[in-house]
Chain A
Amino acid sequence: KQEVTQIPAALSVPEGENLVLNCSFTDSAIYNLQWFRQDPGKGLTSLLLIQSSQREQTSGRLNASLDKSSGRSTLYIAASQPGDSATYLCASHSNDYKLSFGAGTTVTVRA
């Protein structure tokens, strides 16, 4: 069974600082890995999806990397803003359609 771990559980940074969120998974035989954002009282919003054949994906200030051999993915958020405050979840697709989620990292960006 795939186990997904996110460290740290919570992170507080001043506005403008770069954010680095870590995700590790036990089964390297993944098809893809997704990063989601969750705001209080709202559902999950997909941020980036990295296919197993890719090493990274970029969208605006967000960059996600994937290293299957070491079972790790990292989400970088450049020049953080208070609006980036949310919980960030990573999830992997293994050999079926089910997503295996980490517990998330709760980010607070201080103005």
Chain B
Amino acid sequence: GAGVSQSPSNKVTEKGKDVELRCDPISGHTALYWYRQSLGQGLEFLIYFQGNSAPDKSGLPSDRFSAERTGGSVSTLTIQRTQQEDSAVYLCASSLSAGMITDTQYFGPGTRLTVL
């Protein structure tokens, strides 16, 4: 079946502009995660959605970052007033069950964000 999809695959923006990144999880997966991969760094957890529960936003680096998940499916990560340090690959993942630590997370191809 279809995997996790993300759009756009690449985004170049000017400093100070807002951007929206989209993630379509695997159908039927209740959990959705956003990670950020900066150059030379490991993946950094940003936010976690589980069904209709309040998301875990503990990884968001600043209040310029926000995310929502509509209808328990598609998610949008929004970065306001982008800064150059926001340049990174943003990865989305989904997993079948809620909070099942043993569940494999399936990753999308990522969105490469470049802030000029």
Contacts and interface: CB of A to CB of B under 8 A. Distances in A.
B96 to A, nearest CB: 12
Given A4-B42, A89-B42, A99-B45, A42 B109 contact: yes
Interface residues of A, number: 25
Interface stretch (A11-19, A62-70, A73-81, A101-109): A101-109
B59, B99, B110, most chain A CB atoms within 10 A: B110
Interface residues of B, number: 27
Contacts of B33: 97-98
9 closest residue pairs by CB, A with B: A43-B107, A101-B43, A44-B107, A101-B42, A31-B101, A103-B42, A43-B109, A98-B45, A93-B101
Interface string B51-66: 0000000010000000
A44 B91 contact: yes
B9, B42, B91, most chain A CB atoms within 10 A: B42
Contact of B104 (A4, A46, A96, A102): A46
Looking at chain B's contact residues, the main secondary structure is loop
A97 B91 contact: no
B48 A43 contact: no
Given A89-B43, A99-B43, A103-B42, A32 B102 contact: yes
Contacts of B102: 31-32, 49, 51, 93
B31 A97 contact: yes
Given A51-B102, A97-B99, A103 B40 contact: yes
Contacts of B107: 36, 43-45
24 contacts: A31-B102, A32-B102, A34-B104, A41-B9, A43-B3, A43-B91, A43-B110, A44-B91, A44-B93, A45-B107, A46-B106, A49-B102, A49-B104, A91-B43, A93-B102, A97-B33, A97-B48, A97-B100, A97-B101, A99-B43, A100-B45, A101-B42, A101-B43, A101-B44
